[in-house]
């Protein structure tokens, strides 16, 4: 799902609940829930647990959480992601964030210069050049390593 596909933020409430707890309240009608619970009883007993309704449902939810994969593609540009992460914390807290595009070399250097200016470091001029060069390309190297694994 991408930013553009979120027509109504009420949908993100469901995604947030699913990421945080593995459940979306009232997603399934009662008869389907009972069928799932009945189907889980033998497996729950096999694993040495009492086959109560709650244990069977929890076992099912744990299995779903283990195999379910959800891909969210949100742009970090602008305030949308920041605002949504405040309203729906599981979008950040219960996910793995992967940045797909590397930063341009110039942008990285500007970030370093701004950071150093705020810190009031007294650096030797040659050290400034080393500090400016070091972070640039870090994201490219990280991407290369990740692609190999």
**93-142: pLDDT as tens digits:** 888 877 766 667 677 777 777 777 777 666 666 666 666 666 556 656 66
Note the pLDDT of residue 143: 63
The total of other beta-carbon atoms located within 10 Å of residue 15's CB is 21
Note the pLDDT of residue 5: 74
Tokens of 129: 């050049």
pTM of the model: 0.54
Nearest alpha carbon to residue 4 among 97, 113, 77, 108: 77
Taking the C-alpha atoms of residue 7 and residue 42, their distance in angstroms, rounded to an integer, is 42
Tokens of 121: 């470091």
At residue 123, φ and ψ (nearest 5 deg) are: -110, 145
Nearest alpha carbon to residue 61 among 84, 33, 29, 101: 33
> Scanning the structure block, which residue is given the tokens 């080393």?
130
Residues 12, 6 contacting (CB under 8 angstroms): yes
């Amino acid at each position: 799902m991408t930013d553009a596909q979120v027509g109504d933020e009420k949908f993100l409430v469901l995604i947030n609940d699913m990421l945080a707890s593995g459940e979306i309240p009232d997603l399934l009608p009662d008869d389907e829930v009972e069928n799932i619970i009945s189907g889980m009883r033998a497996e729950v007993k096999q694993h040495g647990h009492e086959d109560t309704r709650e244990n069977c449902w929890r076992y099912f939810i744990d299995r779903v959480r283990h195999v379910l994969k959800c891909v969210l593609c949100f742009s970090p540009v602008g305030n949308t992601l920041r605002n949504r992460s405040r309203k729906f914390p599981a979008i950040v807290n219960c996910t793995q964030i992967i940045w797909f595009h590397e930063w341009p070399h110039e942008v990285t250097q500007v970030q370093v210069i701004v950071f150093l200016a705020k810190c009031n470091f007294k650096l030797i001029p040659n050290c400034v050049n080393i500090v400016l060069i070091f972070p640039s390309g870090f994201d490219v190297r990280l991407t290369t390593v990740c692609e190999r694994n």
